[in-house]
Amino acid sequence: MSFGLGHGKPLDPAPGVVGVSDDELGPLPDDIVANPESGRVDPRAWFEEPGRPFELEIGSGKGTFLVQQAELEPGTNFLGIEWAGEFYAYAADRVRRRRPAGKLANVRLLHADAAEFLRWRCPDGVCRVIHLYFSDPWPKARHHKKRVIQHRFLAEAWRVLEPGGELRVVTDHDELWVWDMAHFEQWVGGGAVETATPSPRTEGVDRGEAARLHGTQMGTFIDADALARARASLPEMPDVVRVMRQHMPDPPFELLAFDRPESAGSGEIVGTNFERKFRVEGRSFHAGVLRKRAR
């Protein structure tokens, strides 16, 4: 299916320059199942300055967050991962067109399933932030397994984050947020979903404004019946995740309030394309941060 994103003009993802090329990623080794770490590649090496802090965005869509935030933060490397080919090409082309002006040398795009990338490719402890904004809600029960937030995903996110690193989540979708929270509460310790404290990074932010922006984000604002239903139907934590948990602190994460990135516009939470679209429709939003606790 074509979304007509190029408006008739070809999109150039600039493989090897902006888009991550097959050569850079390399093939998956034949013994990947027997030796799950054999396919790991360090994504920091794909950037001109590999020593900089590294952040990734899952489902970058048209690339609005990357383009806005990475320009304000040239000292951080950003990798956008997008599995829809046309959106990947659109976002990479958008970055490519800014490169001659000396901008966005710190942004690359990868055409891949982000959950698979984390699991099979991404080494331990390399990532400062994982951004997950307006993830597809997959509302039908038989499609819930396609949602990004799963116990296995949270285990891999913990593994690839630096100590103190963050998984930052925003959605407009009430039922997806309840699903997320029903998972999160098994990763942040009893009661934390209901009693999450503001992030230290919101210090100095006007509390009235923060509450207005983020008023629906915490567990206390979740419909209790919906949360109970989600808990009852949540997939079991797989054995492999229980084994991974033995090497993590208990709980592995703490849940914090979402602090807006610098690039968010006035009255916005994060300022992505989907937030802007949904804001016009009058939707409300949910947001939160899981911060990795160190061992």
Where do contacts with ligand SAM occur on this chain (CB under 6 A)? Answer: 58-61, 64, 81-84, 87, 113-115, 133-136, 148, 272-274
> Which tokens in the block code for residue 25?
């990623």
Q: Which amino acid is at 102?
A: G
In the bound state with ligand SAM, the residue whose beta carbon lies nearer, of 136 and 268, is 136
In the bound state with ligand SAM, the residue whose beta carbon lies nearer, of 106 and 272, is 272
| Closest distance of CB 130 from ligand SAM, Å | 12
| Closest distance of CB 50 from ligand SAM, Å | 23
Report the run of H or E that residue 197 belongs to, with start and end. none
**How many Å apart are CA 290 and CA 254, to the nearest integer?**
6
In the bound state with ligand SAM, the residue whose beta carbon lies nearer, of 81 and 192, is 81
136 as an active site residue: the answer is yes
User: 41: exposed, middle or buried (C-beta count within 10 Å: 0-12, 13-18, 19+)?
Assistant: middle
Check if the beta carbon of residue 231 is closer than 8 Å to that of residue 182: yes
State residue 168 phi and psi, 5-degree precision. Answer: -110, 125
Q: Which amino acid is at 1?
A: M
Classified as helix, coil or strand, 159 is: helix
Distance from the Cα of residue 237 to its chain's centroid: 21
In the bound state with ligand SAM, the residue whose beta carbon lies nearer, of 178 and 227, is 178
> Which tokens in the block code for residue 176?
């997806």
| Closest distance of CB 63 from ligand SAM, Å | 8
**How many Å apart are CA 123 and CA 39, to the nearest integer?**
9
204-233 per-residue burial string, b: 16 or more CB within 10 A, e: under 16:
ebeeeebeebbeebbbeebeeebbeebeee
Nearest-Å Rg of the Cα atoms of the chain is 19
Distance from the Cα of residue 145 to its chain's centroid: 17
| Closest distance of CB 243 from ligand SAM, Å | 23
Question: Residue 2 to residues 8, 163, 178: CA-CA distances in angstroms?
Answer: 11, 41, 32
| Closest distance of CB 73 from ligand SAM, Å | 17
| Closest distance of CB 152 from ligand SAM, Å | 12
Please identify which of the residues 31, 42, 113, 136 carries the catalytic annotation.
136
Closest residue by beta carbon to ligand SAM: 59
In the bound state with ligand SAM, the residue whose beta carbon lies nearer, of 3 and 221, is 3
State residue 200 phi and psi, 5-degree precision. Answer: -55, -25
In the bound state with ligand SAM, the residue whose beta carbon lies nearer, of 9 and 145, is 145
- Residues labelled catalytic: 136
